[in-house]
Chains A and B, each alone.
Chain A
Amino acid sequence: MKRFPEYFTFWHIAGHYGLRVFAFLVLLFLMLPILVIMPLSFNAEPFFTFTEGMLALDAEAYSIRWYQEILDDQKWLLAIRNSFVVGFAAATIATVLGTVAAVGLSSPWMPYKRIITALLLSPMIVPLIIIAAGMFFFYTQFNLVGTYGGLIIAHAALGVPFVIITVTATLSGFDRSLFVAGLSLGASPVKVFWDVVIPLIRPGVISGGLFAFVTSFDEVVLVLFLAAPNNAPFRARCFPGCANRSIQPSLRLRPCLSCSRRRCCSHWKRCADVPQR
């Protein structure tokens, strides 16, 4: 039994436990839709519902055939590989560029800071469909539509804002006199940056890079505009099935494979006011 301060009345204690119960209810409310979907991916039938057999916990009603199907299908495997290749390359570019941009923007002598920040963060705010259409027309002039390079550049641009935000946040706690101290000890500015600044902002750089990666991994609108069939990543393959109204078996796996990303990213989206895709 928890010890409460002496002055606590019944209502204090009721409030204490009431708050906990309420917090768990909220958590449940948020998690339930995700938890419910997971068993559906083991459905033996090609329907997106709980069958009677599943509810009766009949082993026959469950199967891993949809997982099997994905792993057997070359197209799906290529798509997954594309997702990782594009995501990794885009995240790398976004991390490097975003970190450099954040370091520059946090310098006290940076002119036009607000305008440049707004410009760099705009991919997070402008509706994706507009970015996608714009990029499509822009890319046609350079024959970039349908290439890996084009897709990577586009996804890197989408990832940069995440890196800038996380790195700027870690830099705000960075003591500039450390940089000055490094110089006074005889290290060149570039060396101080590598030896002192980078290790200290590493958490921001890494989390920014992860956000950039999952942004690319989960992105579908740009892909529909810019990718060719052979380099379409995993997420894009989930959607033609919908359009055809045929039940794309592997579609039900999607929530399971990407729900973790939804959760970790949802707060970013809310604060950035990005339209839900």
Chain B
Amino acid sequence: MMKDLNIDTFLKFDDVKKSYDQKNLVVKGFNMDVQEGEFITLLGPSGSGKTTVLMMLAGFESVTSGDIAIAGKSINRTAPYRRNIGMVFQNYALFPHMTVAENLAYPLAVRKMPKDKIKAQVAEYLNLVELSAFGDRRPGQLSGGQRQRVALARAMIFEPTLILMDEPLGALDKNLREQMQYEITRLHKQMGFTVIYVTHDQAEALSMSSRIAVFNDGVVQQCAPPAELYERPANAFVADFIGENNFVPGRVESIDGATAKIVTDGGTIVAQATADLTVGGACRVSVRPEKLFFPPSTHAHDNALTVRFETRIYVGDFIRYYFKLPDGTDIIVKILNDLSAPEFTDGAEAQLLWLASDCIAFQAG
């Protein structure tokens, strides 16, 4: 990871560690530089330390060691209510005894803003989240999506430069979630604040973020823009965690610069090589289900494997095929549901083709 002292680094995590029991580290040295206006997502399975990082940034958890700095100033010793960081919670955390307008006015009233200015600002932000007609309602009278929009407006209304979101869409159903994703992205673009977003939903992370930090076991596995994360995963965990992936086991025969020749049970294939690959070592070649295709095809291809057909699942917009390699490894193929989607009989042999640039060989282990 680059560690340059960039002038416009807005938020900086410097070797941040967290331990609850003074024995085990929940976050094992987190480093990150965030530019102003970025949308950063912390993605990882539950218990991977991503929420702990967010809580340390918000000030609700103390930092065991390391430093968090905003605009060059350490905030380790700043009380949470003086950090001026907006926060959106999974369960909305709206004050149930106040109306929507009162909820929005609260952070402004705390900052002793004059009453008429508060009123104008509340009206403006209600309008921004398209809830102008709901100012007098209580949170209990709103739907989940409306509540989350109020929570968003409340986190933005005091114009913090940084907004934290802790799985804000976790409690919503799928349609609402997509709608809210759009809403959040729109507000982020419009208002220009910096977002640190925590989620375990990778689709959400991929579609919203400017950069994603993938957490596992208290360590950032990779921090990269969505496309790079998906196309060029840094290790097997990321390849497996982000999207679907097939892993073909094999042995490295030779390494030639950026590519490697891998011997598998079904034949020799060519793949992108990762840095830690060694000649003669065991490896796993990852290839995405949508990058595989069947012959006859007009596509060029570098690799071909013979597999046995297991089952075919109709999903609607695409079709999933399950195959088995000779050694029993499952291979999934996703094909668009058009005329080219073939039918197979049970146990039939099939050829799978793909490009060397679409697969990456990782050190097994």
Which of A's residues lie within 8 Å of B, judged by CB?
Answer: 175, 177-178, 180-189, 191, 195-196, 199-200
Contact = CB atoms under 8 A, between A and B. Distances in A.
24 contacts: A175-B93, A177-B89, A177-B93, A180-B60, A180-B89, A181-B89, A181-B94, A181-B95, A183-B59, A184-B81, A184-B85, A184-B86, A184-B87, A184-B155, A185-B86, A186-B107, A186-B110, A186-B111, A186-B158, A187-B106, A187-B107, A196-B95, A199-B97, A200-B97
B110 A181 contact: no
Given A185-B154, A199-B97, 7 more contacts: A181-B89, A184-B86, A184-B87, A185-B81, A185-B158, A186-B107, A191-B110
Interface string B99-127: 00000001100110000000000000000
Contacts of B110: 185-187, 191
Contact of A178 (B58, B81, B93): B93
B91 A185 contact: no
Nearest to A176: B93
Interface residues of B, number: 26
A188 B155 CA distance: 16
A182 B80 CA distance: 10
Interface of B: 58-60, 79-82, 84-87, 89, 91, 93-97, 106-107, 110-111, 154-155, 158, 164
A182 B106 CA distance: 9
Nearest to A177: B93
B280 to A, nearest CB: 54
B261 to A, nearest CB: 54
Contacts of B93: 175, 177-178, 180-181
Nearest to A202: B97
A186 B84 CA distance: 6
Contact of A183 (B60, B111, B158, B164): B60
B63 to A, nearest CB: 17
Contacts of A189: 81
Nearest to B104: A185
A184 B95 contact: no
B144 to A, nearest CB: 15
Contacts of A199: 97
A200 B96 contact: yes
A200 B58 CA distance: 24
A173 to B, nearest CB: 11
Contacts of B154: 185
B97 A186 contact: no
B87 A181 contact: yes
Nearest to A199: B97
Contacts of A186: 81-82, 84, 107, 110-111, 158
Contacts of A178: 93, 95
Contacts of B155: 184
Given A180-B60, A181-B89, A195-B106, A187 B95 contact: no
Q: Which A-B residue pairs are the 4 nearest by beta carbons?
A: A181-B93, A185-B107, A184-B87, A177-B93
Contacts of B59: 183
B147 to A, nearest CB: 13
A109 to B, nearest CB: 12
Name, among B84, B86, B97, the residue most crowded by chain A CB atoms within 10 Å (CB to CB).
B97
Nearest to A180: B60
A191 B164 CA distance: 22
Contacts of A195: 95, 106
A195 B109 CA distance: 11
Nearest to A187: B110
A187 B87 CA distance: 13
Contacts of A180: 60, 87, 89, 93
B97 A185 contact: no
Contacts of B79: 188
A185 to B, nearest CB: 4
B112 to A, nearest CB: 10
A195 B106 CA distance: 9
A234 B106 CA distance: 47
A188 B96 CA distance: 19
A205 to B, nearest CB: 14
